[in-house]
Each structure stands twice: as structure tokens, then as C-alpha cells.
Amino acid sequence: MTFSADLFAGRTVVVAGGTSGIGAATAQRFADLGARVLSFGLGALMAPANRRIENHEVDVLKPGALEAFFSSVEAVDVLVNCTGVSRDRGEWSKATFDEVMAINLTSVMDCCRLARPRMQAGSAMVNIASMYSTFGAADRPAYAASKGAIVQLTKSLAQEYAQADIRVNAVAPGWIVTPLSRALFADEPVSAPILRRIPAGRWGAAEEVADAIVFLSSDAARYVTGACLPVDGGYLTS
């Protein structure tokens, strides 16, 4: 165990997009560290079970859904925004581009706006950016644009909320093994050149991203705000 088992005891952590992938791993990690975790997203019934995690079915595109969820939450000590999708080349159509931006960017701002009145001094927000915050992506223009915007949104929120002693940071995952990425990694002709470029020499695990999120949410990062931490095995350096 990297962290003290009671690091977040007595605290409430909200994980948007916490029902699968990096979000689910993050919800599990906070629960293991003693937090009460409120996780929401699609497929809540299929999310990993834990006595400290409450999974809620919430569609961020449904009008009023986020407002309804946050109205039931009295206090938030940590907000983690993991909600995100990629539609690959379908993103070149206007309808799909707009949908991806609404999910990946607008819903994140909505969650931060709705959580803010429920947060006190010493609270933290962590958003999920991406290595595509740095790179463009011909195959996923909306995804890349939304994740680049997440970095700037994080900086803007950090400036605004610092006066209330609320920190806002982001992590930028690289090639992480999730249910959505396994097919790509199994396609060796496609994945082999990617793997060769990663200095660490392996794919990342969702739990490793979760650990970075835990750090940024903890008092160990109490003087860190407005930062975007790559969790990519050195991919951006090569």
C-alpha cells in the first residue's frame, strides 16, 4: 500500500465517471484509503462493489441529471472528474464532435460548478486530461480538443478557487490498460510502435493513474494547484 490506510477517513470523495476504467480504479483506491465514495456514471450496476462506494446511474447529457445528483450531496472533500469518451473518426461529424465536447469538457465544468458550494477550505478537485492535451489527433479531433481544454480549464479554476483554499489539478494519462484500450493493445502491428516509444517499456495501469490522483488530492500536494501531471511512463519525453 503506497498510502496510509486511513488517509481519507471521514472524507467524502465524488468520482464522476467512476463506474469503469480509470474512474473505477480511482473510486476503489479512495475507498481503500477510508473515504466515503460517491461514484456516478453509466453502467453503475456493473461497477465494482465496495462497502464504501455508492454507485449512481447518471447520464451527464440528460438535462438536470447532474443538478439532481449534487443536490443530494451535502459535502464534497474531493471531486475527481473522470467522465470522458472518444468516438474516433466519427468525431469529424458536427453532431458527434458536439457530443464529445459536451461530455468531456462541459460536464466537467458543470461538476466543478455544482460541487464548489459544497467544498470547504482544504478541498481538492482533480480533472482527467490526456497525452492528447499535448498532441493533436487526426483520428479523434474532439477528444484531443476537449482534453487540451481541460488543462486550461484546470488552470482557470485553480486561479478562481485558490482564494477559498480549494486546489484544482489535472492528470494526463498516457497509454493505460482499460476495457476500452485492450483491443488496441492486442493489435500488435498497431501497438508495437507505440510500446517502443514508452521509455518505461510497458503499458500503464489504471491504478497507477489513481495513485497520482490520490497524491494530488492529499495534503502532500497542499501547495500544488493548476498543475497537469503526466502519468505516461515518459511517453511525452520521447
234 phi and psi, to 5 degrees?
90, 10
Residue 82 domain flag: yes
Q: 66, 111 in Cβ contact below 8 A? A: yes
Count Cβ atoms within 10 A of the Cβ of residue 52 and give its class: 0-12 exposed, 13-18 middle, 19 or more buried. Answer: middle
Residue 122 domain flag: yes
Q: What is the pLDDT of residue 1?
A: 67
Task: Provide the 8-state DSSP code for 174.
Answer: -
Q: 173, 131 in Cβ contact below 8 A? A: yes
The pTM score is 0.96
Residue 4 domain flag: no
Task: Write the CATH number for 223.
Answer: 3.40.50.720
What does the pLDDT look like over 182-219, one tens digit per residue? Answer: 888 989 999 999 999 999 999 999 999 999 999 999 99
Residue 151 domain flag: yes
Residue 128 domain flag: yes
Domain with 119 in it? 12-237
In sequence order, what are the residues at sequence separation of 6 or more whose Cβ sits closer than 8 angstroms to the Cβ of residue 19? 39, 40, 41, 42, 43, 44, 46, 47, 55
The count of structural domains within the chain is 1
Provide the annotated active-site residues: 143
What does the pLDDT look like over 57-86, one tens digit per residue? Answer: 999 999 999 999 999 999 999 999 999 999
